[in-house]
Structure 1
Amino acid sequence: MKNIKYILVAFACCLFTGCMDEDWDTPDTTDAFGNKNIVETNVVTIKSLKDKYTSVINASSNSYQEITDDIQIKGRVVGNDIQGNIYNEIALDDGTSSILICISQGGLFAYLPVGQEIIVDLKGLYIGGYGKQAEIGTPYTNARGSSYVSRMSRIVWNQHFRLLGTADPSLVSPEIFDASKVKDATYLIENSGKLMTLKNVQFKNGDGITTYAPEELKDAANCVSREITGFSSSNLVVRTSTYADFAAKPLPTGKCNITGIFTRYNNIWQILIREESDVEEL
């Protein structure tokens, strides 16, 4: 009798295993990211968006304003958190300009790779400037009582964007940074946030030992700014997070081309390298 019971139990286990195997198919993630109900309508250029809110973005304090118009922007991702240097942000460019979108979520590169086109429904989101860098997100107030536009929750973000097709990185290429205009206020306003390349330059501390972002030199934002020979640190720096995958790598010793998202903090260009390969040694 015991043998019969064991046989029946074994047979039942096989049946349940078989059922589980049938249900354990690869999940359909087609609609896992974004809002498929967003329909392309009332699309404005990023440049016109920034022009409309220029007084908010360029305010002396970190100002922001809710977008109440039923408008959208459409563009391609040109920068993300692929190696941890760009934190909780993507850079979006539509050919007219670029803007940062702040999202409280890690691993954005997995579904928002460089070259991915998206449409963003702006109504209900906020636009503002952090150090006059144009950003889209939601308001945040820090412990000191300072408020500014910052990271929206991933739930809010998921309601406000839609993926368009598949990523095509071949459609993304950096502009050449005009070093002669490093102090030009208009050039700064028009190009901050873009993917650009600073050509044929050298890190001031590139001795083969000094690293991008050692822990002991980090500032309050857990970042280290490195100078470029021939440029004042009050005009342009390369800014690296201590959490970046390449933070402990030594700076190049010779001439190089530096590609990254050229953000601003007030009147200082801050180059955010997306990944280590953005620095091309010559």
Structure 2
Amino acid sequence: MKRTCCNDRPSARAGAALRRAGFFGLLLLIGAACNRASEPRYGDPDDGETVSIPRLKALADRSDATEIRQELRIRGRITGNDCFGEFYKTLVVEDAYGGISLAIDATDLFYGYPFGYELTVRCNGLTLCEYGGKLVLGTTPTDDGPGRIAAADLPRYLTVSPADGTRPEPRLRTIPEIGTEDIDRYVRLDGVCFPDGGPWCAVDPETGRHTTTEHRIVDTEGHTFTVRAASTCTYADEPVPSGTGSLCGIVDFFNGKFTLRVTDCGALFVSAAAPPRAYP
């Protein structure tokens, strides 16, 4: 099977994604027109007040779930999706002040919500869910964690549009600098290496399936950090990069522990044979 480097732009996968995104949008428009008589009418994406992501998070009370009952919206760029299997049923959106994950009950989200596109989220009716010390935007929590927004409800809450044609720029951080304000933000760590090697994801010997795997990275001053590779990532069998380079990803947090989750195959190692690859 031909392998296409995920950092090539434009790629055949990206072109197909955009074509399918247009088709997906057309289906939504047709469906909305056909069901206008029976389906609820939703407001314009510019209705209500636009607030920063940190301000939205500040609405959360001390319970596990805070339903939003105000006409508020957030607007930012998509910095995490499931294009390479890295964020299963999740979108990550970031504005100039912070980031947040959206829990969504759908897959192949990257077709309709590509990396770098602008996303407006109408928050009235959604729920801020506390999960492992991190706030996630979704619906009423379940026993498995934050409730996921139903696929049929996405047009109600989400509006996506192309940005200015540039890719989102990760914020340069050092390992000691990473803190709570960086949770769900797109960052870059320079001068790091994977001292232990191995594939991005280990394989469970009993089931033969990939498992979510944590790797240790070290910077030139000896600081360490954890990189978490999802079992669903399309490059699970490939080795982590050798040598020293840069990693781009989303800062995650769970039960007091920070990790970096690679997004958009963001491994830039000059001495490596190749960055992670995706399979079209």
Q: Same fold (TM over 0.5)?
A: yes
Which residue of 1 is the match for residue 240 of structure 2? Answer: 251
Which residue of 1 is the match for residue 134 of structure 2? Answer: 133
Q: Within 2, Cα distance between the matches of 1:123 and 1:36?
A: 11
Q: Per-residue deviation at 1:171?
A: 5.0
Q: Per-residue deviation at 1:92?
A: 0.6
Sort the Cα spacing of 1:112 and 1:205 in 2 relative to 1 into closer, same or farther, 3 A: same
Q: Deviations over 1:169-200 (max 9, x none)?
A: 51511001232234xxxxx2211000001111
Sort the Cα spacing of 1:150 and 1:272 in 2 relative to 1 into closer, same or farther, 3 A: farther
Length, aligned pairs only: 232
Sort the Cα spacing of 1:148 and 1:29 in 2 relative to 1 into closer, same or farther, 3 A: closer
Which residue of 1 is the match for residue 146 of structure 2? Answer: 149
Counterpart residue type for residue 225 of structure 1: E
Q: Within 2, Cα distance between the matches of 1:231 and 1:153?
A: 41
The answer (yes or no) to whether the contact 2:45–2:122 under 8 Å persists in 1 is: no
Q: Within 2, Cα distance between the matches of 1:270 and 1:228?
A: 11
Q: Within 2, Cα distance between the matches of 1:138 and 1:266?
A: 21
The answer (yes or no) to whether the contact 1:38–1:162 under 8 Å persists in 2 is: no
Which consecutive unaligned segments of at least 5 residues does structure 2 have? 1-21, 33-40, 271-280
The answer (yes or no) to whether the contact 1:134–1:193 under 8 Å persists in 2 is: no
1:38 aligned onto 2:44: yes
Out of 194, 199, 202, the residue aligned to residue 214 of structure 1 is 202
1:174 aligned onto 2:170: yes
Root-mean-square deviation over aligned CA pairs: 2.6
Q: Per-residue deviation at 1:222?
A: 4.0
Out of 187, 191, 205, the residue aligned to residue 182 of structure 2 is 191
Question: What SS does the aligned partner of 1:90 have?
Answer: strand
Question: What SS does the aligned partner of 1:95 have?
Answer: coil
Sort the Cα spacing of 1:107 and 1:36 in 2 relative to 1 into closer, same or farther, 3 A: farther
Q: Deviations over 1:141-179 (max 9, x none)?
A: 23xxxx63232211122311122x324451511001232
Which consecutive unaligned segments of at least 5 residues does structure 1 have? 1-25, 183-187
Q: Deviations over 1:189-248 (max 9, x none)?
A: 211000001111011312xxx101112289xx941111113345xxx3111122210111
The answer (yes or no) to whether the contact 2:69–2:124 under 8 Å persists in 1 is: yes
Return 257-266 or 33-42, whichever deviates more.
33-42
Greater fraction of residues in strand: 2
Q: Give the 5 Å matches for 1:66-77.
A: 66-77=67-78
Q: Per-residue deviation at 1:29?
A: 3.5
Q: Within 2, Cα distance between the matches of 1:97 and 1:197?
A: 15
Sort the Cα spacing of 1:27 and 1:119 in 2 relative to 1 into closer, same or farther, 3 A: closer
Return the index of the structure with the highest Cα Rg. Answer: 1
Return 241-250 or 30-39, whichever deviates more.
30-39
Q: Per-residue deviation at 1:266?
A: 2.8
Counterpart residue type for residue 190 of structure 1: E
Question: What SS does the aligned partner of 2:57 have?
Answer: helix
Greater fraction of residues in helix: 1
Q: Within 1, Cα distance between the matches of 2:204 and 2:214?
A: 13
Counterpart residue type for residue 55 of structure 2: S
Q: Per-residue deviation at 1:104?
A: 1.1
Out of 243, 249, 252, the residue aligned to residue 263 of structure 1 is 252
